[in-house]
Amino acid sequence: MILFNKQRLFYTLILVVFTAVQISCSTPATKEKVAMDIMKENIIPQPVSMEATNSSFELTAESDIYVDAGSEAAMSVAQYLADKLNPSTGLGLEAKPTNEAPDAGNIYLTISGADTQLGEEGYNLTIAEEGITLSANTPAGLFYGVQTIRQLLPAKAAMNTAQEGPWLVATGIIKDQPAYEYRGVMLDVSRHFFSVEDVKRYIDLIALYKMNAMHLHLSDDQGWRIEIKSWPNLTAHGGSTQVGGGEGGFYTQEQYKDIVKYAQERHIIIVPEIDMPGHTNAALASYAELNCDGKATELYTGTEVGFSTFCTDKEITYKFIDDVVREISEMTPGPYFHIGGDESHVTPMEDYIPFVNKVQEIVAAHGKKVLGWDEIANASLQDDTFVQFWADVENTTNGVNQGAKVLMSPAKKIYLDMQYDSTTHLGLHWAAYIEVDSAYAWEPTTYVPGIGKENILGIEAPIWSETITNMDELEFMVFPRLPGVAEIAWSPVEKRSWDEYKVRLGAHGPLFKALGIDYYASKLVPWKTE
Ligand code: NGO
């Protein structure tokens, strides 16, 4: 009897302890919240508006990411976030469909009933102690909100090895949308070839800063980098080398489609460029008939510009261009086809103008809008043609006077192949030395007199690869200037000042480190180490 009572007491005790443990685990709301100020977080690009509520939300092993049932694209944004966070946090976040707002402790992504003023790419992010709600009109808007969430978490959340929590996010309300519809970078894969994996990594890095366009410079004097089934020697011969005489390379059509898809999943368009009528030696070396004298040129591995040209009055030239534009356009869902048009120094202007006019028609016939370097404004621009300003104010103004919108890429400010200063071991300096402050502290709407916000499609930072041979070198030139370009393209001008920005940028040092980026640690920036 006594024994029986003792036993009962023992079991009762166990039950009490068990219940107590259960209660404390299942009611995180009773846990003391850590006070955090969202205004002290360092989001780049700076959001349009932020309001602090001075507490925190904790992502835990109980958390998941819920999405309105029925939208596959929204679901893939949730899956993207889970895939980014699970390796470091080990929280096993799952993307789950739902028909209503989830319980406390979760992240909720919704594209129903968002504020219409947010437009196509904006988002509202509400972070409360109980959970995170991200709403947008489109999956793209959700994707940009997700980048903000990633930046609000500790930098080590960006690593792909297991890290210690806690995973706290400051509470508050963010309303955000971009200033420009086109926010991009250009990568020259012709002078030095970059692999599919390299391009994907660059896509991932620009996605973190809410950029939405990657322009690939796929052909130049030194190399043709995209398989064209109807003209196979372009890659077989024209893709076989690069600057300095290395092996070169090219993307098969399957690989190109893979890049396009990878970019698309990150709400980034690929803008293919076939540069013409100049910068065409790789094609001229591959097909004799494209030359006026009918003789193929030698492959070229130097870095001079402006010596090559298609034969602009031969029929075959336009048949060739039609095939190339058709094959590439068929694989490219984005709206643009870039026709280059720069530095055609050996094409007489009386040939250049009809050439650009004809090529615009070819591109339009394949359902794409033309983008071209500012020289193309010497021709008669079609309604849907866009001019990319890189050097010549007169050309660009001429384009605007013809009604074209401008993609802003001033070489003196955002050519990422320009050296930071005279000690930079990579890059060129023909346009300028561009320190981090100079790349940030300029304003697209006042940079070229007479070209205002209404004339500007967006901002793009090119990197040319005469001296850039691999990803380490590329990342050193791109970072830390790229986040500044992204901010110019996204944030309202009244929210931008170098003195304030440099502190936020400095706080991205640990994030760059977590991502394995070997960046240029400019002395102008107060870098944080953690
Ligand atoms: C120029 C030139 C490119 C060079 C680059 C180097 C344009 C549009 N065309 O920019 O061929 O690679 O400068 O900075």
191, 219, 343: residue to mutate for ligand 1 pocket, most atoms within 8 A of CB: 343
Query: What is the Cα–Cα distance from 233 to 426, expressed in whole angstroms?
Result: 32
Look at residue 19 in the predicted model and tell me its pLDDT.
Answer: 47
Cβ of residue 428 lying under 6 Å from some atom of ligand 1? yes
Q: Which numbered atom of ligand 1 lies nearest the CA of 303?
A: 12
Query: What is the Cα–Cα distance from 91 to 84, expressed in whole angstroms?
Result: 11
Q: For residue 190, how far is its CA from the centre of ligand 1 (angstroms)? A: 12
Q: Take residue 53 and report the two structure tokens written for it.
A: 């509520």
What does 447-475 look like in DSSP terms, one character per residue? HSTT--GGGEEEEEEEE--SS--SHHHHH
Q: For residue 397, how far is its CA from the centre of ligand 1 (angstroms)? A: 20
Cβ of residue 373 lying under 6 Å from some atom of ligand 1? yes
Length of the chain in terms of residues written: 530
Cβ of residue 392 lying under 6 Å from some atom of ligand 1? no
Query: What is the Cα–Cα distance from 332 to 328, expressed in whole angstroms?
Result: 6
Tell me if 393 sits within 8 A of 406, measured CB to CB.
no
Cβ of residue 417 lying under 6 Å from some atom of ligand 1? yes
What does 3-48 look like in DSSP terms, one character per residue? HHHHHHHHHHHHHHHHHHHHHHHH-GGGSPPPP--GGGS--SSPPS
Query: What is the Cα–Cα distance from 374 to 370, expressed in whole angstroms?
Result: 12
Look at residue 30 in the predicted model and tell me its pLDDT.
Answer: 57
Query: What is the Cα–Cα distance from 368 to 366, expressed in whole angstroms?
Result: 6
215, 217, 305: residue to mutate for ligand 1 pocket, most atoms within 8 A of CB: 305
Look at residue 3 in the predicted model and tell me its pLDDT.
Answer: 46
To the query of whether residue 343 is one of the catalytic residues in this protein, the response is yes
Alpha-carbon radius of gyration of the chain: 26
Cβ of residue 231 lying under 6 Å from some atom of ligand 1? no
Q: Which numbered atom of ligand 1 lies nearest the CA of 417?
A: 14
The residue whose CA is least distant from atom 9 of ligand 1 is: 342
Query: What is the Cα–Cα distance from 223 to 229, expressed in whole angstroms?
Result: 17
Q: Which numbered atom of ligand 1 lies nearest the CA of 220?
A: 11
Catalytic residue, chosen from 343, 375, 466, 500, is 343
Nearest CA to 59 out of 151, 145, 132, 125 is that of 132
The residue whose CA is least distant from atom 7 of ligand 1 is: 342
Look at residue 7 in the predicted model and tell me its pLDDT.
Answer: 57
192, 342, 434: residue to mutate for ligand 1 pocket, most atoms within 8 A of CB: 342
Q: For residue 343, how far is its CA from the centre of ligand 1 (angstroms)? A: 8
Q: What contacts 36, CB < 8 A, 6 or more positions away?
A: 54, 55, 56, 168, 169, 170, 171
pLDDT tens-place values along the chain, 530 residues long = 444 455 555 555 554 444 444 444 444 445 789 999 999 999 999 999 999 999 999 999 999 999 999 999 999 999 999 999 999 999 999 999 999 999 999 999 999 988 999 999 999 999 999 999 999 999 999 999 999 999 999 999 999 999 999 999 999 999 999 999 999 999 999 999 999 999 999 999 999 999 999 999 999 999 999 999 999 999 999 999 999 999 999 999 999 999 999 999 999 999 999 999 999 999 999 999 999 999 999 999 999 999 999 999 999 999 999 999 999 999 999 999 999 999 999 999 999 999 999 999 999 999 999 999 999 999 999 999 999 999 999 999 999 999 999 999 999 999 999 999 999 999 999 999 999 999 999 999 999 999 999 999 999 999 999 999 999 999 999 999 999 999 999 999 999 999 999 999 999 999 999 999 999 999 999 999 87
Q: For residue 232, how far is its CA from the centre of ligand 1 (angstroms)? A: 27
Cβ of residue 464 lying under 6 Å from some atom of ligand 1? yes
Cβ of residue 305 lying under 6 Å from some atom of ligand 1? yes
